[in-house]
């Protein structure tokens, strides 16, 4: 980004000089949310090192730390809403995170941005590209496995919602480790692995 210091000043003013997620005050840095069309403070959040390390996946997610999202998710700042949404998606194994994800309201535009970034975020995962396909718990998936949905999913174009808990048998892996194919309501659809759990 071109003017980091100016950004930082804007963000510090907006955030009240605390981490916009957990309110920590030390070591705050500017984090730009992908995908950002152009550098702008509107596309950035001010974060502490603890939050940042888990967001950029250099540290494992600590669900307890993210209780702070119960407040942050209600922020009026779209960038904070977006990052909270993405984190809650990654935490959707946690009952409270799933409930919160169901409750928070995001404007259509913000939601689109939040979802677009789910791909980008996952693309920055520590595993090398083209690596294993894993479910939301990191359990490896293989052709023919059965999975359950951990989230209600709107099936675009098919006009129905695949409900959380739906069992999908005989999935097929795709070239993209974040996507598998499966049949729901007799329709073959692409499922994002972050919304799946391997059925045992």
CB of 24 to Zn ion, least distance (A): 5
Question: Are 108 and 72 spatial neighbours (Cβ–Cβ below 8 Å)?
Answer: no
19 binds Zn ion (CB under 5 A): yes
| Contact indicator for 66, 87 with CB cutoff of 8 Å | yes
Q: Of residues 44, 48, 97, 101, which one binds Zn ion by CB under 5 A? A: 48
Instruction: Assess 21 for contact with Zn ion (CB under 5 A).
Output: yes
Is residue 196 at the binding interface for Zn ion, with CB under 5 A as the rule? no
d(CA 185, CA 161): 10
Distance between CA 141 and CA 143 in Å, rounded?
7
| Interface with Zn ion, residue 51, by CB under 5 A | yes
Count of positions on this chain that bind Zn ion (CB under 5 A): 6
Residue closer to Zn ion by CB (options 30, 184) is 30
Residues 6+ apart with CB under 8 A from 136: 92, 93, 150, 193, 194, 195, 196, 197
Q: Is 30 in the site for Zn ion (CB under 5 A)?
A: no
Does 24 bind Zn ion (CB under 5 A)? Our answer is yes
Going along the chain, which residue ranges are E strands?
Answer: 29-32, 44-47, 147-149, 153-155, 160-162, 167-168, 172-173, 179-184, 187-192, 196-198
Q: Tell me whether residue 21 or residue 80 sits nearer to Zn ion (CB atom).
A: 21
User: Mask 108-137, x = binds Zn ion (CB under 5 A)?
Assistant: ------------------------------
Q: Which of 1, 22, 106, 111 binds Zn ion (CB under 5 A)?
A: 22
Residue ranges in contact with Zn ion by CB under 5 A = 19, 21-22, 24, 48, 51
């Amino acid at each position: 980004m071109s003017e980091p210091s100016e950004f930082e000043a804007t963000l510090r003013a907006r955030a009240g000089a605390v981490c916009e997620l957990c309110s920590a005050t030390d070591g705050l840095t500017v984090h730009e949310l992908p995908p950002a069309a152009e550098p702008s403070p509107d596309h950035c959040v001010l974060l502490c090192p603890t939050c940042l390390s888990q967001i950029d996946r250099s540290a494992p997610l600590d669900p307890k730390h993210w209780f702070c999202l119960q407040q942050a998710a209600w922020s009026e700042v779209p960038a904070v809403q977006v990052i909270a949404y993405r984190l809650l998606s990654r935490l959707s194994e946690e009952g409270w995170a799933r409930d919160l994800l169901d409750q928070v309201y995001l404007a259509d535009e913000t939601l689109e941005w939040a979802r677009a970034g789910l791909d980008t975020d996952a693309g920055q995962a520590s595993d090398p590209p083209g690596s294993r396909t894993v479910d939301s718990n990191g359990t490896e998936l293989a052709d023919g496995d059965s999975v359950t949905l951990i989230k209600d999913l709107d099936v675009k174009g098919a006009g129905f919602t695949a409900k959380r808990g739906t069992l999908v048998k005989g999935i097929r892996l795709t070239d993209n480790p974040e996507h598998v194919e499966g049949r729901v309501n007799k329709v073959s659809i692409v499922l994002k692995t972050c919304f799946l759990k391997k059925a045992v």
